[in-house]
């Protein structure tokens, strides 16, 4: 049963690509699948010159393009309204007046979700205007949703937090990172803290190493303007990989609530140290993948011919806590890699004494390996040794598989999960201000550090210097098939 209340969902950037591709389809599914029903009313806000009916037609087309039945989409968009903000307007008084008019017309109690589906440079001014227009309070609840990236370094994140806190309280703020909305990312917590079998072995006494890989097949997809400013550290490491790292490394919260979980994530981050000597950056060059010629990064439209922007990074870090002291964590992410995959690989210690030997007296025991696959083909795999039939004695590593889609048929879209949490008031999967700042503090040195960027061919797993730079020459990374 839904835990939501009647409310108005206000989208600033209401005619943008994010609204079209992600927000509207997700809001539609929430009303169909999460039992929200008529509780949801939507107001789109942008500079485009639309009326209510024209906006509803635009939204209907967006839903049909996302696979929604045309008749169902036509009926659903009747809950939508639109107001235009002129480019030269310096306040949001007209938006406030429109919100109050809709609430009176629809008999709403004043509950409001304010979603900033806007370019990050516009966040500070928009947040200030919301506060100045009195849209930081209401007769019901008010929740502000801010898309990532939240700042571009520690200083800008701190400044943006200051602007936000000038007008909103932390319990009103939902900093959204769609990665945390993935069911399988959330399930890392359930996997760890509901299964004593694994949590009791989740420490330096039993674990040899942890590897986290976020690999993308695609290049920059026409986003050279953004990517030249961001690079791989801002685009992937400061947010996505950091979230996965904290979920693996954090201690058990005292209860399963937002503040308890987020406090443990921050404490895990505070224990992390990175040695710049164990970091390698890369940039993809041209290559051939499945018979198709792939251009290099420097050949992408809008990229400077002498650009040193990294599209790949691998690094080794330490978590200096009682649980993890001495266990290396290896993180890597890159574009134009052989396949799209996100995996957390936990390699356990080998037994202290080898009892099983091959014909040449070499130890045949392998480490147990746990592989959590977050995308695609979500699930997990546990590798363990068994005796192969016949003689002489021979051990082979075999996997035990679990596949989420086979077990549960369908998995909600990340935005569907997160938007439902916004309107039901659950902040568990949203990033708190101190976590944002701690994360930027951790990575700022690497972002600003002049570094050699090594070439790697499109369709490969990164520069050949990677494992040497990480202090693991000849040691291959573990991935599921």
Closest CA to 331 of 347, 314, 350, 345: 314
Beta-strand ranges (E) seen in 232-291 are 272-285, 287-289
User: 395 exposed, middle or buried (CB, 10 Å; 0-12, 13-18, 19+)?
Assistant: middle
Closest CA to 131 of 85, 86, 162, 175: 162
Per-residue pLDDT of the chain (481 residues; tens, 9 = 90+): 457 899 999 999 999 999 999 999 999 999 988 888 889 999 999 988 888 999 999 999 999 999 999 999 999 999 998 988 875 567 899 999 999 999 999 999 999 999 999 989 999 999 999 999 999 999 999 999 998 889 999 999 999 999 999 999 999 999 998 878 877 777 888 888 888 888 889 999 999 999 999 999 999 988 898 899 999 999 999 999 999 999 999 999 998 888 999 999 999 999 999 999 999 999 999 998 888 899 999 999 999 999 999 999 999 999 999 999 999 999 999 999 999 999 999 999 887 777 666 545 566 667 889 999 988 888 888 888 777 787 666 777 778 888 888 888 777 888 999 999 999 999 988 999 999 999 999 999 899 888 899 999 999 999 999 999 898 887 888 888 7
pLDDT at 325: 96
Look at the alpha carbons of 280, 282, 288, 292 in this order and tell me if their dihedral is positive or negative.
positive
**What does DSSP assign to residue 357?**
B
CB-based contacts of 157: which residues, under 8 Å, 6+ apart? 150, 151, 436, 437, 440
C-alpha neighbours within 13 Å on the C-beta side of residue 11: 24
pTM of the prediction?
0.90
- For 182, the 3-state DSSP assignment is coil
The values of phi and psi at residue 441, to 5°, are -60, -40
Rounded to a whole number, what is the distance in angstroms from the first to the last CA of the chain?
Answer: 39
* Catalytic residue selected from 240, 278, 366, 401: 240
Cβ proximity of 182 and 375 under 8 Å: yes
Cα 13 from Cα 178, distance rounded (Å): 17
- Residue in the structure block whose two tokens are 């509780």: 39
Cβ proximity of 39 and 8 under 8 Å: no
pLDDT at 72: 95
- For 241, the 3-state DSSP assignment is helix
Q: Does 394 participate in catalysis according to the annotation?
A: no
């Amino acid at each position: 049963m839904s835990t939501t209340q009647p409310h108005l969902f206000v989208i600033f950037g209401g005619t943008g690509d994010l609204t079209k591709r992600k927000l509207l389809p997700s809001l539609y599914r929430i009303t169909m699948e999460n039992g929200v029903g008529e509780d949801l009313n939507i107001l789109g806000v942008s500079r485009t010159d639309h009326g209510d009916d024209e906006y509803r037609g635009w939204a209907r087309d967006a839903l049909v393009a996302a696979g929604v039945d045309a008749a169902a989409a036509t009926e659903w968009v009747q809950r939508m309204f639109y107001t235009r903000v002129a480019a030269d307007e310096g306040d949001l008084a007209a938006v406030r007046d429109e919100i109050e008019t809709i609430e009176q017309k629809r008999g709403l109690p004043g509950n409001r979700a304010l979603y900033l589906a806007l370019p990050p440079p516009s966040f500070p001014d928009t947040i200030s205007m919301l506060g100045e227009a009195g849209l930081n309070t209401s007769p019901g609840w008010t929740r502000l949703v801010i898309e990532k990236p939240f700042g571009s370094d520690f200083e800008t994140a701190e400044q943006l937090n200051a602007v936000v806190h000038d007008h909103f309280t932390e319990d009103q703020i939902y900093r959204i990172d769609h990665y945390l909305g993935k069911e399988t990312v959330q399930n890392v917590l359930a996997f760890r803290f509901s299964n004593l079998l694994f949590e009791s072995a989740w420490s330096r006494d039993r674990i040899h190493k942890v590897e986290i890989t976020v690999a993308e097949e695609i290049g920059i997809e026409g986003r050279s303007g953004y990517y030249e400013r961001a690079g791989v550290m801002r685009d992937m490491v400061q947010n996505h990989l950091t979230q996965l790292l904290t979920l693996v490394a954090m201690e058990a919260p005292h209860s399963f609530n937002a503040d308890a979980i987020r406090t443990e994530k921050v404490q895990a981050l505070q224990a992390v140290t990175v040695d710049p000597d164990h970091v390698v950056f890369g940039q993809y060059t041209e290559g051939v993948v499945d018979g198709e010629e792939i251009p290099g990064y420097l050949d992408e439209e809008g990229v400077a011919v002498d650009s040193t922007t990294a599209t790949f990074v691998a690094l080794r870090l330490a978590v200096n806590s009682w649980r993890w002291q001495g266990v290396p964590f290896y993180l890597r992410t890159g574009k134009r890699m052989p396949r799209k995959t996100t995996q957390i690989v936990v390699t356990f210690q080998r037994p202290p004494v080898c009892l099983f030997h091959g014909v040449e007296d070499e130890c045949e025991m392998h480490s147990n390996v746990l592989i959590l696959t977050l995308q695609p083909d979500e699930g997990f795999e546990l590798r363990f040794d068994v005796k192969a039939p016949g003689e002489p004695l021979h051990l082979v590593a075999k996997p035990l598989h679990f596949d989420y889609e086979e077990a549960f048929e369908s998995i909600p879209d990340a935005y569907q999960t997160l938007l439902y949490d916004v309107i039901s008031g659950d902040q568990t999967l949203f990033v708190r201000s101190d976590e944002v700042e701690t994360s930027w503090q951790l990575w700022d040195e690497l972002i600003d550090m002049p570094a050699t960027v090594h070439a790697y061919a499109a369709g490969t797993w990164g520069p050949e210097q990677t494992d040497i730079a990480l202090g693991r020459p000849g040691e291959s990374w573990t991935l599921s098939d």
